[in-house]
């Protein structure tokens, strides 16, 4: 990696070679000055005392270690979206690591090996993979070293260092969630998702523990070193070896282990390390050298195919969302960066975030039976968690039958425009509000053709000045192209606009998206806007009108009293909505990610003109782009007080 000046600087390249060799030489010299090195005969006798079954066990532990390293490479391929994730790519990663850990100079040797073994990989991409695996491995190893220093080392003086390492690792995890992308000039750096980091940590722990176990099995029986004693020391010594980039970690590994295990015979420790290097370094390096010389021996490794979870699906842009769809609210994807994803015969609105792949609402078309397995595979290919968000009870039941975890999170206020009447005690409050609006001289007009966008933008700006930034991602924000693809109703008083409401539309349903009112809007303005929309929907034979959802959880009554009271004036039918995910941890991560995105939305981008894929006759041929606000509050957004 690095910049072009550094890549072309001979001095820089020379230092990359000199520094690791210098570290190796210095450590070996210091080690030789501290202890008396055993003779070859003494070391041979110590190695011969190791039972044959221990050698077999060490070989098995080595195999487990490299298997986990292959899985580690798989996570890296998915993060960088190379499309090469699979058994072949994992085997290439194992070979590359076996080669680079022995010859040293990790970035150079690892990048060369991956490029050599993966014909579809460019040298730059191979270098990215190598740097990614190296840096994330160091972070995971730092966490293990921190725990070892804090919990197992007898030296009180290094406890603070262990705590510092652990805090640094936790801070890295928090940073990857709160700021998943970092802009550096024209380059966007993307942190691994928490889903990816958990996988990387798991495989790193298995790898390092298996390697340490192999070393312990190869120590002479009379060394007196237990596995519990060896592993923390090995973690720390390995960290020094990795940072040095010395060939095979030679020097720092030996010096670290002998220093940390100073109460035990250094000759026996050295003999165990030599045996370990034969099993864990030399043997894998021999295999890797053969495959690097003759890659054709790997057979189908040279005929890599793209990841099926990504190639067997179809991507359609958000502005082609069909007019004929079950939920009009699905059109929010025109603004939030979502798209339409087709899995075989099932099409759904999908929002990919740094941490998750969120399927919004029910499928737009097709059956839901195969959707759950397809979403798991799709999100796995992105190192992401997945969920269905604000789905209906029918889809939630299908998810439960697929062993997904479900949670009720919202209630949607639904009205039947064709049957709506103002009579009855349940609408007494509505009638009072409408009389207030009438007395104040409020007139509501349907902006059926050309809405006064400049004036609506001014109302939105005043609303934001009074209430703060509008929420986003699953809720609408004002944007000209986005709102002109909606049905808009405007409240006037004394020939001035004092508020407006907009609705998503489909062939069977309208759904409230935005409602904005000026600070001087009289009481009942919002109710008058909704009443006019209900009448217009009835005239167009719309059978379902949604006032959008309100939170429906343990603390909902504390955060949405005004919102629920406003919608309750229309005596709606409350329909439950659910979130569903394959596991509880994924469900929790999806909720946290959505909360982050709702309260910290990206800047609104102009939407593309809505061109429905089905070209069905619709109310108006308009544009799109916008996000929800607290007046049409999403199930996880905390309502603000005016």
Find the mean pLDDT for residues 202-206.
92
Q: Of 106-115, 174-183, 196-205, where does the model show the most confidence?
A: 196-205
Of the candidates 256, 259, 258, 251, the one whose C-alpha atom is nearest the C-alpha of residue 277 is 251
What pLDDT score was predicted for residue 520? 85
Containing 220, the helix (H) or strand (E) segment is none
To the nearest 10°, report the CA torsion of 333, 338, 340, 343: -130
The Cα–Cα gap between 623 and 456 comes to 16
The Cα–Cα gap between 272 and 234 comes to 12
State whether residue 352 is helix, strand or coil: strand
Express each pLDDT in 52-93 by its tens digit.
999 999 999 999 999 999 899 888 888 888 877 777 788 888
Q: Which of 9-18, 333-342, 464-473 has the lowest mean pLDDT?
A: 9-18
Quote the DSSP letter at residue 625.
B
Find the mean pLDDT for residues 440-446.
91
To the nearest 10°, report the CA torsion of 127, 130, 131, 137: 180
Of the candidates 225, 219, 250, 253, the one whose C-alpha atom is nearest the C-alpha of residue 239 is 253
Match 């801070």 to its residue by tokens.
171
State whether residue 475 is helix, strand or coil: coil
Express each pLDDT in 380-428 by its tens digit.
988 999 999 999 999 999 999 999 999 999 999 999 999 999 888 888 9
> Does residue 559 have a pLDDT over 80?
no
- Contact between 323 and 614 (Cβ < 8 Å): yes
Express each pLDDT in 113-168 by its tens digit.
888 888 778 888 888 888 888 888 888 888 888 888 877 665 555 677 778 888 88
> Does residue 27 have a pLDDT over 70?
no
- The token pair at 169 is 């690792």
Give 192-195's long-range contacts (Cβ < 8 A, gap of 24+): 192/75, 192/79, 192/136, 192/383, 193/79, 193/354, 193/355, 193/356, 193/382, 193/383, 193/384, 193/385, 194/355, 194/385, 194/589, 195/355, 195/383, 195/384, 195/385, 195/586, 195/589
The Cα–Cα gap between 538 and 50 comes to 86
Q: Which of 96-110, 276-290, 474-488, 529-543 has the lowest mean pLDDT?
A: 96-110
Find the mean pLDDT for residues 333-343.
91
Q: Of 303-307, 518-522, 540-544, 554-558, where does the model show the most confidence?
A: 540-544
pLDDT tier at 376, thresholds 50, 70, 90: very high
Of the candidates 323, 368, 328, 329, the one whose C-alpha atom is nearest the C-alpha of residue 347 is 368
pTM for the predicted model, two decimal places: 0.79
Express each pLDDT in 208-245 by its tens digit.
999 999 999 999 888 888 888 888 889 888 888 887 76
End-to-end CA distance of the chain: 51
Cα 303 from chain centroid (whole Å)? 29
Of the candidates 411, 467, 476, the one whose C-alpha atom is nearest the C-alpha of residue 635 is 411
Express each pLDDT in 264-311 by its tens digit.
888 888 888 889 989 998 899 898 888 888 877 766 544 545 545 455
State whether residue 477 is helix, strand or coil: coil
- Contact between 75 and 306 (Cβ < 8 Å): no
């Amino acid at each position: 990696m690095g910049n072009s000046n550094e890549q072309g600087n001979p001095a820089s390249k020379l230092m990359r070679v000199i520094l690791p060799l210098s570290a190796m030489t210095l450590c070996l010299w210091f080690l030789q000055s501290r202890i008396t090195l055993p003779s070859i005969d003494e070391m041979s006798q110590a190695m011969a005392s190791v039972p044959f079954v221990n050698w077999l066990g060490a070989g098995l532990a080595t195999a487990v270690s490299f298997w986990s390293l292959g899985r580690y490479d798989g996570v890296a391929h998915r993060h960088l979206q190379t499309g090469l994730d699979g058994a072949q790519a994992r085997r290439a990663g194992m070979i590359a690591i076996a080669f680079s850990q022995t010859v040293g100079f990790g970035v150079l040797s690892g990048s060369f090996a991956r490029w050599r073994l993966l014909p579809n990989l460019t040298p730059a991409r191979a270098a990215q993979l190598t740097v990614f695996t190296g840096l994330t491995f160091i972070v995971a190893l730092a966490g293990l070293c921190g725990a070892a220093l804090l919990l197992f080392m007898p030296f009180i003086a290094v406890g603070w260092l262990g705590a510092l390492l652990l805090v640094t690792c936790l801070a890295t995890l928090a940073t990857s969630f709160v700021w998943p992308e970092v802009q550096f000039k024209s380059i966007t750096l993307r942190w691994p998702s928490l889903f990816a980091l958990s996988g990387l940590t798991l495989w790193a722990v298995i790898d390092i523990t298996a390697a340490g176990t192999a070393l312990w099995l190869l120590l002479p029986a009379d060394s007196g070193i237990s596995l519990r004693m060896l592993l923390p020391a090995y973690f720390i010594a390995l960290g020094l070896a990795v940072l040095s980039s010395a060939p095979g970690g030679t020097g720092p590994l030996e010096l670290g282990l002998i220093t940390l295990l100073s109460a035990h015979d250094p000759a026996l420790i050295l003999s165990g390390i030599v045996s370990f290097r034969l099993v864990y370094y030399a043997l894998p390096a021999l295999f890797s050298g053969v495959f690097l010389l003759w890659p054709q021996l790997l057979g189908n490794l040279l005929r890599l195919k793209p990841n099926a979870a990504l190639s067997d699906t179809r991507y359609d842009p958000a502005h082609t969302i069909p007019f004929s769809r079950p939920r009009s609210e699905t059109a929010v994807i025109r603004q939030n960066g979502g798209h339409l994803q087709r899995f075989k015969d099932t099409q759904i609105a999908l929002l990919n975030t740094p941490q998750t792949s969120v399927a919004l609402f029910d499928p737009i078309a097709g059956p839901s039976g195969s959707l759950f397995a397809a979403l798991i595979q799709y999100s796995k290919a992105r190192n992401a968690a997945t969920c269905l968000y604000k789905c209906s009870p029918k889809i939630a039941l299908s998810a439960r039958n697929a062993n997904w975890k479900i949670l009720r999170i919202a209630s949607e206020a639904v009205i039947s425009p064709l049957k709506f009447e103002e009579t009855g005690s349940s609408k007494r409050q509505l009638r009072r509000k409408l009389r207030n609006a009438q007395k104040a001289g409020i007139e509501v007009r349907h902006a059926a053709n050309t809405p006064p966008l400049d004036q609506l933008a001014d109302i939105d700006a005043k609303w934001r000045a009074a209430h703060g930034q509008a929420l986003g991602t699953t809720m609408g924000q004002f944007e000209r192209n986005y709102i002109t693809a909606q049905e808009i109703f405007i409240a006037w008083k004394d020939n001035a606009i004092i508020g407006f409401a907009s609705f998503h539309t489909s062939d069977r349903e309208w759904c409230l998206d935005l409602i904005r009112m000026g600070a001087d809007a009289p009481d009942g303005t919002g109710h008058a806007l909704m009443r006019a929309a209900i009448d217009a929907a009835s005239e167009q034979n719309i059978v379902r009108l949604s006032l959008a959802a309100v939170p429906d959880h343990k603390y909902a009554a504390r955060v949405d009293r005004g919102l629920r009271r406003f919608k309750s004036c229309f005596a709606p039918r409350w329909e439950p909505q659910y979130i569903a995910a394959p596991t509880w941890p994924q469900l929790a991560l999806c909720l946290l990610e959505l909360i982050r995105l709702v309260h910290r939305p990206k800047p609104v981008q102009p939407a593309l003109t809505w061109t429905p894929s089905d070209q069905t006759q619709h109310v108006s041929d308009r544009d799109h782009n916008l996000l929800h606000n607290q007046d049409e509050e999403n199930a996880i957004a905390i309502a603000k007080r005016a």
